[in-house]
Copies of this chain bind each other. A is one copy, B any other.
Amino acid sequence: MATVAEILTFVETLAPRSMKMDWDNVGLLCGSRNTPVAKVLVALDPFEGVCREAAQWGAELIVTHHPMIFQPLKAITDETSIGRSIQLLCRSGISAINAHTNLDCAPGGVNDILAKKLGLSDIKVIHPDGTDAQGRPYGLLRSGEVEEQSLEAFLSLVKQNLNCPGLRYVDGGKPVHRVAVGGGSCAGGMQEALDAGCDTFVTADVKYNQFWDARDLGLNLIDAGHFYTENPVTEYLCEKLREAFPEVEIKISETHGDCMKFFG
């Protein structure tokens, strides 16, 4: 039977550790490399609800994008959500592995998925950090093209393709043609998007002053939500894992979704 170690090795073929940011925490963060795995639950986050779903379903492994542990832990008690999650995993013999910024940067990863989901063509890595073993450039952001259209038209497309309940945006005063994408909190890459010739940038967790900066720079900036810009990668992980481990039962969490709602 496949083990946690084998599945981790495979995930790190898709998203090599060497592509992660220095501050990141990725790989096997809870459990045991030797655990045999019959069921894998895939989700964007390893939050408490996901851990409970995995335990109820009888999974031996959860595979997520965000790490189980981000701030190193000084205690593991039931007073915190992370403490309860870890206690549950340990009690249930469930391991947790993740690929975070390595999966953001990897060819085919979070941001390539996002670019494709938006229907971009001529997809390129913005400011590549290097090339992988197959000579493909990797790095955080992607840019690509859509047929030139009004911002309003593109907003509809984003909302529909990412299936998100709402968008926040600023109008940079240009039609949409070349689009940068960065799933999650990538608004700090605005200048790089402009330098790469983009008129529009789709990302999330954008702050007040960043919307103003975008307007000053003449960049259409769209916050489509952290969850909606990154969650598509779970389908990709699911498919790849199923191909590689046909004997393992693999599914995307049925309970996890964005806890944040729009009221408008």
Bound CA–CA A30/B226 (angstroms): 32
In the bound complex, how far is the Cα of B257 from the Cα of A171, in angstroms?
13
Given A166-B262, A185-B207, A264-B264: A76 and B48 interface contact (C-beta under 8 Å): no
Which residues in B have their C-beta under 8 angstroms from that of A184? 208
A69: chain B residues at CB < 8 Å are 73-76
- Smallest Cβ distance from A198 to chain B, in angstroms? 19
Which residues of B lie under 8 Å from residue A162 when comparing CB positions? none
Q: Is A33 an interface residue (CB 8 A)?
A: yes
Task: Indicate if A81 sits at the interface (CB-CB under 8 A).
Answer: yes
Residue tally, chain A, CB below 8 Å to B:
60
Partner of A264, one of B28, B34, B166: B166
A160 to chain B, nearest CB (A): 11
Q: Closest residue to A211 on the B side, CB-wise?
A: B260
Which B residues are in CB contact (< 8 Å) with A80? 216
Bound form: Cα–Cα A51–B51 in Å: 25
Q: Across the interface, name the chain B residue whose C-beta is closest to A86.
A: B76
* A85 closest partner in B (C-beta): B216
Among B29, B81, B227, contact of A76 (Cβ-Cβ < 8 Å): B29
Say whether A169 faces chain B, with CB atoms less than 8 Å apart: yes
Which of A45, A87, A166, A170 has the most B CB atoms < 10 Å from its CB?
Answer: A87
Which residue in chain B gives the minimum CB-CB distance to A34?
B78
User: Please, how many angstroms separate the alpha-carbon atoms of A69 and B262 in the complex?
Assistant: 33
Whether, in the assembled complex, A22 has its beta carbon less than 8 Å from a beta carbon of chain B, the answer is no
A111 at the A/B interface (Cβ < 8 Å)? no
Instruction: Tell me whether A30 and B260 are in contact in the complex, defined as CB-CB below 8 angstroms, given that A90-B87, A208-B185 are known contacts.
Output: no
Using CB atoms and an 8 Å cutoff, list the residues of chain A in contact with chain B. Answer: 25, 27-34, 45, 47-48, 69, 71-81, 86-87, 90-91, 93, 95, 152, 155, 159, 165-171, 184-185, 204-208, 211-212, 215-216, 225-227, 259-264
Can you report 22 A-B residue pairs in the complex whose CB atoms are below 8 A from each other? A25-B74, A27-B75, A28-B75, A28-B77, A29-B75, A30-B75, A31-B87, A34-B78, A69-B75, A76-B86, A81-B216, A159-B263, A166-B263, A166-B264, A168-B168, A168-B260, A168-B263, A170-B259, A185-B208, A206-B260, A211-B260, A215-B259
